[in-house]
Amino acid sequence: MRAALYTRVSTVDQHPETQLHDLRQMAAQRGYEIVQEYTDRISGAKARRPGLDELMRDVRRGRFDVVLVWASDRIARSVKHFLDVLDELNRLNVEFVSFREQIDTGGPLGRAVVTIIGVVAELERSLIVERVRAGMRRARLEGQHIGRPALALDRAAIVRERQHGQSLAQIARSHRASRATIHRVIHEQMPADITVQKGV
């Protein structure tokens, strides 16, 4: 059988060689001929995956009989996307094999197990997100600051610099703040009879 290998790592600092080693070994054990290997270095949640897109184009051209991945969650960003990929592979008579779960879609049981694993993986991601949000809510209720610390600005110096004719851009650079922040500070601190030209 002609095989395609697909690997995905989450960041550019990771390397797919571990996944590829396992997949090449599995292909050799099963007597598969590896036609091509595809790799994406991108987060699992990202919609666009050049390697996967190229793989699916080649699948549609009839280049493979089986697609090997290191784990089911490597190939899709959501359960819906996962099921869409499996459905298209099934429609094109291409088997799907996952190394980590030791399952394939060569029969109805394998297809059922892969679907269940996809559902569980998405549930786990949703629970992690909910735990993070709950932790942030608890921290706010306890009075803890969430996010970056507030920017400490020398407001008096900002006003002096503006009164001495410095532009918003110059002041922003010297205080490492945005022009919008400097503009707001000036308007809050300077007397109403001193005009400030926005954007100068």
Give this prediction's pTM.
0.54
Residues 52 and 104 in one domain: yes
pLDDT for position 176: 82
- Encoding tokens for residue 17? 């060689």
CA–CA gap between residue 145 and residue 54 (Å, rounded): 45
Residues 26 and 118 in one domain: yes
What are the catalytic residues? 10
Name every residue whose Cβ is closer than 8 Å to that of residue 23 and which is 6 or more positions away in sequence. 5, 7, 68, 69, 70, 99
pLDDT for position 31: 93
Q: Tell me, what CATH number does 113's domain have? A: 3.40.50.1390
- Residue 18 inside a domain? The answer is yes
* Identity of the highest mean pLDDT range in 28-32, 43-47, 138-142: 28-32
Per-residue confidence band for 193, with pLDDT thresholds at 50, 70 and 90: very low
